[in-house]
Structure 1
Amino acid sequence: MTERDLDNLDVFFDAARRQAADPSPDLMQRVLDNALAEQQRLAAQAAPQARPQRAARGLLRQLLSAIGGWPAVAGLATASVTGLWIGVNPPAAVSTTAEAYLNSGADTYLVDLMPGFQFDDMAEG
């Protein structure tokens, strides 16, 4: 921009500064009337309305609601059946990993878990 363009803009800025910035009283009155009408409409909507009484919920329905409804029950049932199946008939990879992790083998029944306990003392008494 040149100096001449800036001088031309100053004329417009001076005119804007001299103009009154207050809105007309008629505009302000219409805005307030609309605001009051909207407040009254919202207050009427927010008024408490009579709700129908619900029947008391049973214990099973409360339990289902607490855990997430029937989709959650289906997930729990699926996980339970899968866990039971893997426990009864484990795949070879699971049993090998469990034996390595728990350090158990075929001779684990030979370990004396209570070396200080004598069984023959119980037989005499």
Structure 2
Amino acid sequence: MTDKHDEFGLNAYFDAGRKAAQMPSGDLMARVLADAEAQQMANVPAPAAQPGLFASLWTAIGGWPTVAGMATATLVGIWIGISPPAPLEEIMAGNTLDTYLVDLLPAFGDDFVEG
């Protein structure tokens, strides 16, 4: 159906087009370059807007990860404030003498005795 060797007489036109390569005139090139420079100057981007107060604060504290941690700490603080644990109630009631009688590190006392 298609044969690469079939010629429809177009090769003569292609050869003529290759031989007569025309260059654009100097006037046309000057107008094209002037238009290109005008377009480049027209497309200068506007300076970026400065971030607002809240955006600066958001960036300063660290964004979403920090805000999530702060929100969690706030909720835990409210939870402990509303429903404190039982030992915290005893400490706040004034029975703090019992806390001084507890040895929190009993294993380290023997190190000084052994010499």
Q: State the TM-score, normalized to the length of structure 2.
A: 0.41
Q: TM-score, normalised by structure 1?
A: 0.39
